[in-house]
């Protein structure tokens, strides 16, 4: 199953998370085997650069000339040998040879056997030669595209670039946000601990709980009954930055799947109104489903292009606006490892142009004295501080209040202050990379 998914991701451009989920739903695998498939798929994709670098040494005609299934079978087997300690190396080799016999012919299985046995004899891998230069070394060692490593070195320096890449290869933590309209964090935490879960309070968000090895919490009764939502810790900070109060009128411009919308509803004690918009009707339905599950009646959904909201909604009519802008997503590589191989430098530039237009457009809907939060789940300042700086330059009636917020008081010393916003990087708290800027329309 893992091999089949890897081939489709490479050949058809399938998204690993969607394909993995649908494959597991159709299968009758045990929980342990489903976990192993997940580890093999994400791990092999995440470490692909390193695996290919090693394989080039052992495949005489080069891995590019191999059939896609053979190339991915070698990657998958090498991943187990290099990075997993509970699967004996000889078992990984035998399994690869058996699959090669089934899918190919004697010649291919002989080649697979020969390559992998040579790998076993080689000892500790990868062997990275001296004098490569930091970008090339980090790219091979931590398996990231060289253009991205160079970008991060320019933006943040060698040490931070290396820390980001290392953090992106760690498995993501499971974190949930407590619906405080129904239960306190302390009460839910003690219930989880009573039920034998390894749960602890989030250090990042006062609304978060981090769970180790708890399985899929979206299948729990707590989720069904609306006590919690599955959400990354960094993402929980966004609604906190918006700081909506009961009775306010709030706009969430690009709201699906609705995690931040729901969090704002919870913070407002479900008093007031939130207009949650998303371009796609089926995604807007996800938001209303979330609100219903959490018992929130203050959320109303709509589906239109966020650039057109200024044509249909009254100007200067919202107390709070959240623009969680479409972005390159380079802060969530840990959760979506194929992202780093799909994205190109031009993607960052093209999305930044859209972000600037969106910010300019939706800002017209904010009341004097109101607050607009601009956020993204990326590490790129082209999409973050540069977009905000250009906006502030064009709009003297707006000012940044990011660093006067309680949120900055809590994150200062770990997160970075970049331009007029807070930049969280994946290694700061082991959560997603996020940018949050808090702007106010001055009276």
Question: So what's the pLDDT on residue 408?
Answer: 98
Q: Determine whether 377 is an active site residue.
A: yes
**249 and 374 fall within a common domain:** yes
Report yes or no on 67 lying in a domain: yes
Report yes or no on 134 lying in a domain: no
Report yes or no on 127 lying in a domain: no
**214 and 148 fall within a common domain:** no
Cis peptide before 293 (omega within 30 of 0): no
Report yes or no on 373 lying in a domain: yes
Report yes or no on 133 lying in a domain: no
pLDDT tier, 441 (very low <50, low <70, confident <90, very high otherwise): very high
Does the pLDDT value for residue 106 go beyond 90? no
What are the φ and ψ backbone dihedral angles of 129, each rounded to 5 degrees?
-65, 155
**221 and 114 fall within a common domain:** no
Mean pLDDT, to the nearest integer, of 315-344? 97
Q: Reduced to 3 DSSP states, what percent helix, strand and coil does the chain have, rounded to the nearest 5? A: 55, 15, 30
**What does pTM read for this prediction?**
0.95
104 annotated ligand binder: no
Domain-ending residue, one of 131, 151, 168? 168
338 annotated ligand binder: no
278 annotated ligand binder: yes
Residues 107, 121 contacting (CB under 8 angstroms) = no
State the CB neighbour count (10 A cutoff) for residue 233. Answer: 24
pLDDT tier, 58 (very low <50, low <70, confident <90, very high otherwise): very high
The tally of CA atoms less than 13 A away on the side-chain side of residue 212 is 3
Q: Which domain holds residue 164?
A: 141-168
259 annotated ligand binder: yes
Does the pLDDT value for residue 443 go beyond 90? no
**246 and 278 fall within a common domain:** yes
Contacts with 278 (C-beta within 8 Å, 6 or more apart), sequence order? 254, 255, 256, 284, 287, 301, 303
Residues 110, 44 contacting (CB under 8 angstroms) = no
Compute the mean pLDDT over every residue in the chain, rounded to the nearest whole number.
Answer: 96
Domain-ending residue, one of 230, 247, 264? 230
**160 and 237 fall within a common domain:** no
Question: So what's the pLDDT on residue 215?
Answer: 81
* Spatial distance between the Cα atoms of 76 and 55, rounded to a whole number of angstroms: 11
302 annotated ligand binder: no
What is the CATH classification number for the domain harbouring 388? 3.40.50.150
State the CB neighbour count (10 A cutoff) for residue 39. Answer: 18
* Spatial distance between the Cα atoms of 285 and 101, rounded to a whole number of angstroms: 47
305 annotated ligand binder: yes
Report yes or no on 390 lying in a domain: yes
Q: Convert the pLDDT of each residue in 294-303 to its tens digit.
A: 999 999 999 9
Considering only 67-81, 214-228, 244-258, which range has the smallest mean pLDDT?
Answer: 214-228
Mean pLDDT, to the nearest integer, of 63-80? 98
Element (H, E) at 234: helix 233-242
**289 and 423 fall within a common domain:** yes
258 annotated ligand binder: yes
Alpha helices in 256-405 (DSSP H): 259-267, 281-293, 309-312, 339-342, 345-362, 385-394
**315 and 436 fall within a common domain:** yes
**214 and 253 fall within a common domain:** no
**246 and 368 fall within a common domain:** yes
**116 and 157 fall within a common domain:** no
Question: Which residues are bridge partners to 371 per DSSP?
Answer: 320, 440
Tally the domains of the chain: 4
Q: Give DSSP secondary structure letters for 144-208.
A: --HHHHHHHHHHH-HHHHHHHHHHHTSPPPEEEEE-TTT--HHHHHHHHHHTT-EEEE-SS-TTE
Report yes or no on 130 lying in a domain: no
Q: Convert the pLDDT of each residue in 362-421 to its tens digit.
A: 999 999 999 999 999 999 999 999 999 999 999 999 999 999 999 999 999 999 999 999
Active-site residue, selected from the candidate residues 165, 253, 327, 377: 377
Listed residue (430, 386, 434, 40) closest to 203, CA to CA:
430
Does the pLDDT value for residue 264 go beyond 90? yes
What is the CATH classification number for the domain harbouring 190? 3.30.70.1170
pLDDT tier, 269 (very low <50, low <70, confident <90, very high otherwise): very high
Report yes or no on 198 lying in a domain: yes
What is the CATH classification number for the domain harbouring 10? 1.10.940.10
Does the pLDDT value for residue 213 go beyond 90? no
Question: So what's the pLDDT on residue 108?
Answer: 95
Instruction: Please give the radius of gyration of the chain, using alpha carbons only, rounded to the nearest integer.
Output: 24
**377 and 328 fall within a common domain:** yes
**303 and 437 fall within a common domain:** yes
């Amino acid at each position: 199953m893992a091999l089949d998914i890897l081939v489709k991701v490479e050949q058809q451009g399938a998204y690993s998370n969607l394909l993995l989920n649908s494959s597991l739903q159709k299968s009758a695998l045990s929980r342990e085997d489903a976990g192993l498939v997940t580890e093999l798929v994400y791990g092999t994709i995440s470490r692909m650069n390193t695996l290919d670098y090693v394989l080039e040494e052992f495949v005489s005609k080069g891995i590019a000339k191999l059939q896609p299934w053979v190339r991915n079978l070698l990657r998958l087997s090498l991943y187990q040998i290099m990075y997993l300690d509970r699967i004996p190396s000889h078992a990984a080799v035998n399994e690869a040879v058996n699959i090669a016999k089934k899918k190919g012919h004697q010649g291919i299985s002989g080649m697979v056997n020969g390559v992998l046995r040579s790998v076993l004899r080689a000892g500790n891998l990868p062997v990275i030669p001296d004098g490569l230069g930091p970008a090339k070394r980090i790219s091979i060692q931590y398996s990231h595209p060289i253009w991205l490593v160079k970008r991060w070195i320019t933006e943040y320096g060698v040490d931070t670039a290396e820390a980001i890449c290392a953090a992106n290869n760690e498995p993501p933590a499971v974190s949930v946000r407590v619906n405080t309209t129904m239960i306190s964090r302390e009460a839910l935490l003690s219930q989880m601990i009573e039920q034998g879960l390894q749960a602890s309070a989030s250090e990042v968000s006062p609304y978060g709980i981090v769970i180790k090895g708890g399985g899929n919490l979206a299948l729990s009764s707590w989720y069904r009954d609306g006590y919690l939502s599955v959400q990354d810790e960094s993402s929980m900070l966004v609604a906190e930055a918006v700081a909506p109060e009961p009775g306010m009128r709030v706009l969430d411009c690009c709201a699906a799947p609705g995690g931040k919308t729901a969090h704002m509803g919870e913070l407002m004690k479900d008093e007031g109104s939130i207009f949650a918009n998303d371009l796609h009707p089926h995604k807007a339905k996800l938001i209303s489903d979330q609100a219903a599950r959490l018992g929130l009646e203050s959320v109303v959904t709509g589906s239109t292009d966020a650039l057109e909201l200024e044509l249909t909604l009254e100007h200067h009519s919202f107390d709070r606006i959240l623009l969680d802008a479409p972005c390159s997503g380079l802060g969530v590589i840990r959760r979506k490892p194929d992202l780093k191989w799909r994205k190109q430098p031009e993607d960052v530039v093209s999305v930044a142009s859209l972000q600037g237009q969106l910010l300019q457009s939706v800002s017209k809907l904010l009341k004097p004295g109101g607050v607009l939060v601009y956020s993204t789940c990326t590490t790129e300042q082209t999409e973050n501080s540069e977009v905000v700086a250009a906006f502030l330059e064009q709009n003297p009636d707006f000012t940044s209040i990011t660093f006067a917020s309680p949120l900055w008081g809590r994150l200062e010393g770990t997160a970075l202050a970049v331009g007029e916003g807070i930049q969280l990087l994946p290694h700061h708290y082991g959560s997603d990379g996020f940018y949050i800027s808090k702007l106010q329309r001055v009276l």
